[in-house]
Chains A and B, each alone.
Chain A
Amino acid sequence: MGEFKVHRVRFFDYMPSGIRALAFNRDIERIAVARMDGSVEVFHCSDRFFQEKIIPGREQCGIEGLSWVGERLFSAGLNGGITEYDLTNQKVKYTVDAYGGPIWTIAGNQQGTHLAVGCEDGTVKLFEVNEDKIQFERNLDRQKSRIISLSWHPSGSKIAAGMMDMIQIFNVETGHSVHRLLADRGVGTSRSKECVVWSVVYLSDGTIISGDSVGMVKLWDDQTGTLIKSHNVTKCDVITSYLIVPLEWQNEDSLVAGTSEGTVVQFQFISMVLGKDDKEWVRTRTFKNHTHDIRAVAEITTAVVSGGMDAQLVVRPLLDKVEVRSAASALRKIHFPHRRLVSCARKSGLMLFQYPGHLELWRLGESEGKGSSLFVKRNPEKLLHLKVKGEDHIRCSAVSPCGEWIVYSTASSLRLYRLHCDNNNVSITKISKLPMVLSSANQLCFSSDSSHLFSASTQSSVHLVSLSQSGCKFVGTLKPKSGSHQAIHLLAASEDGKWLASANSDHEVHIYNLQTRKAHCTVPVYSSAVTAMGIHPTTNCLFMMYADQQMCEYSIEQKQYTDWSRMVQRKGLHRFWMERDTPCLNVMFNPQHPSHVILHDTYMLCIIDQSLPLPDDKTQFYNQLTLKSLPEEQRKSHSHAFKVCKTFKDILCVELMSDQSLVVVERPLEDVASQLPAPIKQKKFAT
């Protein structure tokens, strides 16, 4: 299926940031994830956990809690502010200072009227949620120690607050404390250490469930203030200061607790005698999918989602809740963002790596000889290390195909640089006078001849800027007819400079004619999000990959799906293709073989030959080895359209350069794991 010279790039030291908080919104089936670096991501639970939205963080912005109020997302952090996010434009809407020192926890009531935050100074502050902003209402009785965790009673009349060594129950009406529940410290040497109540859950029947640093999950009665039952969920000999037991409950019959050993423990509210209503909380299942501390857990409709220091989001399905077992309900581990962090200058062999706080520009190495592994003649070289001005993290970046322009955008600013590269001297100049419209971008893209920059902006519009030696000039704005406000997360320009496609979070794909600067057409909206797309250089067909692993080819000129695409829809895709659990992240075309489409996800590289028949469920999907063993004549009859290469693992990006060489950027998970802090030491049997 064609041979490529492959640059196997492993010098992109991308480190995913640890997960700090999770919040699930049942109504819109979205789960929000807050990371250590202050970024907030939104995953769509029913669309194969596609990462729909990414709001980059800032320096010095440690998020401690997330809370949904209706469809609005709030976060609070150690900088003492409460932040609301603008999810349509994927940026921070505003930040309100709570004036109580660092905030440890935030919780909204079920009625959606109030937010409560727990502060370092020992106050629980109530904020009223208004149409457009939140308004401080009052403080509950101030306590001596910091408030670590909060939970509203479903009726909204009481709040349980977890603190050092105790849990307070407040009457929201009066603001006074109703009960004080004392949590036991550990035994032995840990007796001198404070017991931190990391998490509380207030159930509607008046049961309070707490998780603390001693490693206990305790059940309390709020009427009498007595301990009903306690479960030791972690081994008692693990005595560390940061045993964290986040709890999350669902339907009040199931509850999960994460521990610092990386296990998630499920508790269920089960009738002890079958057929009777006499129910008790019983510890049932234990899941171990993390190597490090779990900092956040959430129970969604059919699964338990957990995240922690090891920066992976684990979705563990609960098989008793799943109706039909399928690929969508399998165990899923999300390691890398579903966005491209690498852009390549195809014509000059440069690569731009996007880190949260800086950019790195590398020149690819050169090789000679032939064979399966080539001798490296010139080592890859780091040309540039560009730090971001300001505190905001980079949202998107791009390098032009010719390698002369670099552009990046944060939440507040956009910077364009021109790169001068003569021999070994590399210098950049910042283009100072940028048009006003280029203040910030959601996605950036250069035209294939590097003469234009496309910048996706608010309200799904794309600004068109022409680039020249002297500087840049605003040309015009492309606006969709639909009037969608969602941010654009993908842009694709055609090779001949005539077409531009944009995909937004509403699953809309708009195609613009760049010569007329008008909207050309809209691809029919599909229920799943577009994860990657590309315009074919010769036929000008738009090839799209969706989060549910479907693929479509849309002829721009004819404004309809191509025959091949219809055939794919009619025949369906192979079971193995549909069962993959990471989305395709790039679509490329090989100019030498116009019928070939190159795709990749985290685990594989795939070439689709549109001239060959599609495989049905009976044919062998991974058939390269079988084909190799067959004689030349028989290969034709056995081959099908999908050629999958699994040589590379943990792929962040694959790009086809203009010299027909393939760049594969890998980030092995072992390297990521080796850079994580050491996990809690556990005695393993027989070691």
Chain B
Amino acid sequence: MVETSDIRVVRCGGSKVNLTPPIISSDSRFVLCTSGDLVKVYSTRTEEWLHSLQGHTNQVTGITLNPANHLQVYSCSVDGTVKLWDFIDGILIKTFVIGCPLFAIYVSEKHTGVLFLHVSMATDSKNECFQLVSVHLPKSAEQEVEAKEMSAVSSHISKNPSCTAFGRGGEYIAFARHLQLNVYFFRKQKTYSFSLKATDKKGAKNAFTCIACHPTDDCIATGHEDGKIRLWRNFIHKKEYTYSTQHWHHNAVNTLCFTPEGTHLLSGGIESVLVQWQYGADNRKEFLPRLGGSILHISASSDGQLFCTSHSDNKITVIESSFKVCGVIQGLVKGDAVLTDLMIDPRSKALVLNGKPGHLQFYSLLRDKHLYNLDIVQQEYIYEAGLDQFEVVKAAFDIKGSWLATVEERGKKSSDLEFFLKLWAFDERTQSFVLNTTITAAHTDRIISMCFSSSEETTMLVTAAEDSQFKAWCQGADADTQQDQNFWSCDFVGSYHKLNPTNCSFSADSSLLAVSFQEVITIWSPDTWEMLTTLCQPPGVIRDLCFGRLSCSKYLLGTTTKNLLCCWNLLTCELEWSTSVDVSKLQPDPFSENVAAFSYQSKHTDLFVFKPSEPRPLFTNKNVCSEKVHRAVFVPREEPLNSCDESTQWLNRSQLYFLTQNMDLLTFSTATEEDRMLSSSKQLVIDDSVAVTPFYLLLGKHRQQQQKLNTQSHPVSDKPQQTQGSVTIKELLHTPAHVLPAASVLCSMFVNSFLISNTGVQQDPLR
């Protein structure tokens, strides 16, 4: 395993931004949220991703503003460290090593120098038991400090971090677990417990789901599984405690949040309606409906002007206190399951997969930004449990990205199966896909596999279905339709011994089509529709099928259900080699000969990267993740790396992304790549007075340069000035028009940027 030492699995791009409550900076200009191993900083005004705080080596599980300095933020991670950041500049100030996985972080103004953390107590993962500990931060000038002074506040903490909250001024901490609410007073060092019955005659489900404490009054709001909100008061009495109950949510309350003044209580749940309760007059409430996915977290800015809600569809909504949505930060939409393959749109190089129900989403991994949703089903989606709705199950792009084929289906059982094959043409004018053809009965049974031919000249779609046929579809071949537009129609129907096809694939030059029928692979010539040969390597049904690329295009790879990976040489029609490995996903890299195979055995997934020409893997990574991997894709890099190391060479031209079963998008990063990113983020040291906006980058850098010019008596060399000038122009051209300063300002600067080279020239004679 020496090879894999500098390649690491990272969460980079498309990660969940809704894992923890987002926080708004005290000046309401930035929203910070955790995203995989990073903490991302967004602007509240423009919704743009400004920069990220990079340094954790595992999932970041909690962030909170430093109560002593509102420009700093603490973050905790499963890697066992708490890091203190200057989030405006993106500088790591300090690292506190705690030493065990951390799951949530809380701070309070009253307890300076103390952090409250959720740590996992149990050794076995089955019986999860969390503990709330307080950690005293040692005062030390060093960058990395070990914090060892820990004391337990309470064991038996719910694993849900929203079930813990600090009360008025940090006097007490309230935490709930199952049916019990506990309030721990720091001064008295005493815990008061209040229990509810699990159910009552009316069928209430009383388990606690979230907690919030009023900032100035001694009032604890708790949310419950059946949608009730209780406001607890007088909780220093064992018996005379009292609570009032409000009920609007029809399902569990996911989150509660008091506004900083304490005048309102915000609540949210699966209804995706933000409810604002007036504190004290509980019947008065306001609603903000139709926010998208169910609300998971709510946070409010310290001045109460902005609220942030994070949603289950990986989205953060920024809401003004007047209950108007003023910004949406959309991450990679993660539904319940991704049914389509992961694909790359050849035009925009965006990742394409299932997004909102009935949609395909286009997500730019390079900019880590959601681009747009394409409505495939074009039907109103009704939110109701158990309702059978149309879902996009298959999608494929042709090689140029001008055609998109989708299959949507409904009906779990085959008896009430309903599906459509749709073909979408790319419209240059609108820069999006337009529906060209809808084929209602493409096959008589479910479509199993679908692929476009990869030749540049003719586009052809092949679909294989459970009705033991495969069909080839061509554009404009049908003479019946007397129209100018080119619609798609069936060109050829093929079958083999009435066997059900399992997969189909075109070779790299589209001269061959391989269709697997159970144990048999048939090779067809798409030009003549003649079956050339059959390949058979029993036992086991063929699961995955792919041709080799570039120099290895004479090889055909196949995986079977009986844990066999086979490689045939198509020139000799013989089995070149085979190996026994349970491959769950076989993914060829379109830009190299490499093929990635994910194998799942004994509860973890291993990755092998190999060339079809030789059975020896180029790269192996054991224990990539603990779940089965079914979806993976090679994403082309914007600029190729030039690593010579054999083990990292395969990542030079493209990056491998894969999706685990609990919808984590993971990728591999090399050490050199990380170094480069780290160094680029370190450079970004800017004075506190100005925020990092493109506007600032444009003007601020220029000013710095001017200052430098003014102070430095000796002339600077020619070369950096030229790059500086080009940077200004580049920034000018790349910045969105609406954030640019007035043209009059830009004009002189634009001209100035040309003038700089002149000063260099002018200074020459001086020298």
Contacts and interface: CB of A to CB of B under 8 A. Distances in A.
B is bound to A: yes
Given A282-B233, A284-B233, A686-B250, A270 B242 contact: yes
Contact of A320 (B242, B244, B250): B242
Interface stretch (B44-52, B281-289, B488-496, B735-743): B281-289
A355 to B, nearest CB: 34
Given A285-B244, A286-B244, A686-B250, A270 B283 contact: no
Given A270-B234, A272-B219, A273-B217, A283 B282 contact: yes
- Report the interface size class on chain B: 20 to 34
Given A284-B244, A285-B242, A285-B245, A270 B281 contact: no
Contacts of A685: 250
A93 interface: no
B243 A320 contact: no
Contact of B217 (A236, A268, A272): A272
A385 interface: no
Given A231-B281, A274-B218, A686-B250, A285 B233 contact: no
A631 interface: no
Contacts of A498: none
A230 interface: yes
Nearest to A278: B217
Kindly name the residue among A271, A273, A285 whose own CB sees the greatest number of chain B CB atoms within 10 A. A273
Nearest to B241: A320
A275 interface: yes
A272 B244 contact: no
B765 interface: no
Nearest to A286: B245
Interface string A250-286: 0000000000000000001011111100000011111
Interface residues of A, number: 23
B240 interface: yes
Interface in A228-264: 229-233, 235-236
A275 B233 CA distance: 12
A686 B227 CA distance: 14
B283 A229 contact: no
Contacts of A284: 233, 242-244
A279 to B, nearest CB: 10
A320 B239 contact: yes
Contacts, number: 54
A591 to B, nearest CB: 43
A319 B194 CA distance: 14
B239 A272 contact: no
A273 B233 contact: no
Contacts of A272: 217-219, 233
A537 to B, nearest CB: 44
B252 to A, nearest CB: 15
A275 B236 contact: yes
Kindly name the residue among B233, B239, B241 whose own CB sees the greatest number of chain A CB atoms within 10 A. B233
Kindly name the residue among A231, A236, A270 whose own CB sees the greatest number of chain B CB atoms within 10 A. A270
A274 B236 contact: yes
A282 B281 contact: no
A235 B283 contact: yes
A232 B284 contact: yes
Contacts of B216: 273
A274 B220 CA distance: 12
A268 B241 CA distance: 11
Contacts of A271: 218, 234
A270 B250 contact: no
B280 interface: yes
Nearest to A233: B283
A230 B281 contact: yes
Contacts of A285: 242-245
A282 B218 contact: no
A685 B248 CA distance: 9
Interface string B342-364: 00000000000000000000000
B370 interface: no
Contacts of B218: 271-274
Contacts of A230: 281
A267 to B, nearest CB: 9
Contacts of A235: 283
B240 A320 contact: yes
Contacts of B178: none
A221 to B, nearest CB: 17
A320 B219 CA distance: 18
A270 B241 CA distance: 10
Interface of A: 229-233, 235-236, 268, 270-275, 282-286, 319-320, 685-686
17 contacts: A230-B281, A231-B283, A232-B283, A232-B284, A233-B283, A268-B233, A268-B242, A270-B233, A270-B242, A271-B234, A272-B233, A273-B168, A275-B236, A284-B242, A284-B243, A319-B239, A320-B242
Given A233-B283, A283-B282, 7 more contacts: A230-B281, A232-B281, A270-B234, A271-B234, A272-B217, A273-B168, A320-B239
